[in-house]
């Protein structure tokens, strides 16, 4: 039996140690800093992060719940999502027991959260790399379906990055989005494109306080009237790179608003983001793309990215 309770500030260091043990035991483990779970508004500052403690009071596993409601402009059939993953200390022998207790808790909480997300259906979902067979089989056994997949793509930053001709009406430049107006403009443009996985201003501002953002930038594309019409976020984690011994960065959330597509803007944004990473000693850039997003796949492959692995999206409606 385990004691299940929300994350509090007293146990953040212990959670960080558990995450480090897990990351060291799993190839290309997908982890975020423990502080994210306590301070991010989507987790209600730890109240939606359930921690399992053994009889000696040791933290042995945890499972966060991160709600991502679809925007009002999304397809009426598009569901809300509540993202979760059950991370178990690799030193635990009976991983099934602690998973069962955490799964029961997150399902109860997900049902409660879904009522506050409006009339859309809500999917409890988990994204897992294809090498995590034990975790995948567990969620499938609990009634989750494999509803979609994502490719992880990588680009060698030591290779030449082309100088592309600029669009005469578009200015591409780097930005730290320091003002409230810039932040609001970015969130609005982002959510116009990513309407089923939107940002909130509060969540975006939390990211702007992170260790990754301290070294990152947004490469933005601006129309003649100064309006943001596209962007890509370039950043990396020094802590993660020290752990892995690699110099890996990310080029995330590549977007161009619909009326400015098919003009080479996305290719310009990616090239500038890659230059930024290369200037800062990053050797490899990674991004994620849904396997059925054929136009984005074509863009990334033509920009030098290669598929390196697959991530499964599993979910069930609650």
Q: Does pLDDT of 107 surpass 80?
A: yes
Q: What is the pLDDT of residue 28?
A: 80
Residue 174 CB burial class (10 angstroms; 0-12, 13-18, ≥19): middle
Check pLDDT > 80 for residue 74. Answer: no
- The predicted structure's pLDDT at residue 225: 95
pLDDT band at residue 239, thresholds of 50, 70 and 90?
confident
User: Tell me: the pLDDT tens digits for 164-180?
Assistant: 988 999 999 999 999 99
pLDDT at position 240 is 87
At residue 235, the pLDDT reads 98
158, with CB counted inside 10 A (0-12, 13-18, 19+), is exposed
Q: Which of 129-133, 195-199, 270-274 has the lowest mean pLDDT?
A: 195-199
Query: In 3-state terms, what secondary structure has residue 224?
Result: coil
- Provide the CATH number for the domain formed by 154-310 in this structure: 3.40.630.30
Determine the Cα–Cα distance for residues 64 and 45; give it in Å rounded to an integer. 11
Confidence at residue 77, expressed as pLDDT on a 0 to 100 scale: 86
Alpha-carbon distance 84 to 273, whole Å? 30
Average pLDDT score over residue span 302-312: 97
Average pLDDT over residues 279-287: 98
Q: Is the pLDDT of residue 124 over 90?
A: yes
Answer with the residue of higher pLDDT: 162 or 75.
162
Tokens 């940002």 — which residue? 199
Phi-psi region of 191 (alpha: psi -120 to 50; beta: other; left: phi over 0): alpha
Q: Tokens representing 140?
A: 């499938």
Side-chain-facing half-sphere of 281: CA atoms under 13 Å: 6
What mean pLDDT value characterizes the chain? 95
- Secondary-structure class of domain 3-143 per CATH: alpha beta
pTM of the model: 0.91
pLDDT-derived band of residue 195, with 50, 70 and 90 as boundaries? confident
Over residues 93-107, the mean pLDDT reads 97
Which SS3 state, helix, strand or coil, does residue 87 take?
A: strand
Whole-angstrom distance, CA of residue 271 vs CA of residue 49: 37
Q: How confident is residue 4, by pLDDT bands cut at 50, 70 and 90?
A: very high
The segment(s) of the chain belonging to CATH 3.40.630.30 are 3-143, 154-310
DSSP H or E stretch at residue 33? none
For 129-157, what is each residue's pLDDT tens digit? 999 999 999 999 999 999 999 999 999 99
CB of 26 closer than 8 Å to CB of 89: no
């Amino acid at each position: 039996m385990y004691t299940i309770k929300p994350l509090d500030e007293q146990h953040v260091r212990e959670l960080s140690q558990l995450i480090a043990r897990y990351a060291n035991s799993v190839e290309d483990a997908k982890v975020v800093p423990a502080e994210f779970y306590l301070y991010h508004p989507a987790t209600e500052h730890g109240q939606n992060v359930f921690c399992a403690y053994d009889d000696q009071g040791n933290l042995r596993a945890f499972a966060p719940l991160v709600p991502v409601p679809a925007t009002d402009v999304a397809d009426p059939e598009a569901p809300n999502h509540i993202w979760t993953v059950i991370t178990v200390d690799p030193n635990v022998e009976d991983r099934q027991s602690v998973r069962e207790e955490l799964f029961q808790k997150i399902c109860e909480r997900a049902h409660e959260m879904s009522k506050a997300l409006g009339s859309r259906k809500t999917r409890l979902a988990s994204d897992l790399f294809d090498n995590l067979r034990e975790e995948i089989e567990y969620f499938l056994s609990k009634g989750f379906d494999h509803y979609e997949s994502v490719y992880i793509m990588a680009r060698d930053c030591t290779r030449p990055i082309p100088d592309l001709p600029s669009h005469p009406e578009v200015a591409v430049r780097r930005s730290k989005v320091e003002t409230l107006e810039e932040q609001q403009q970015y969130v609005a443009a982002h959510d116009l494109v990513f309407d089923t996985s939107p940002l909130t201003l509060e969540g975006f501002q939390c990211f702007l306080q992170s260790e990754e953002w301290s070294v990152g930038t947004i490469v933005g594309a601006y129309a003649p009237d100064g309006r943001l019409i596209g962007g890509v976020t370039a950043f990396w984690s020094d802590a993660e790179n020290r752990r892995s011994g690699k110099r890996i960065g990310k080029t995330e959330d590549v977007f161009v608003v619909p009326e400015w597509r098919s003009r080479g803007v996305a290719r310009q944004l990616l090239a500038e983001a890659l230059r930024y990473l290369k200037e800062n000693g990053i050797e490899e850039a990674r991004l994620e793309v849904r396997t059925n997003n054929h136009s984005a796949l074509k863009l990334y492959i033509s920009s030098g990215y290669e598929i390196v692995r697959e991530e499964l999206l599993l979910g069930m409606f609650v």
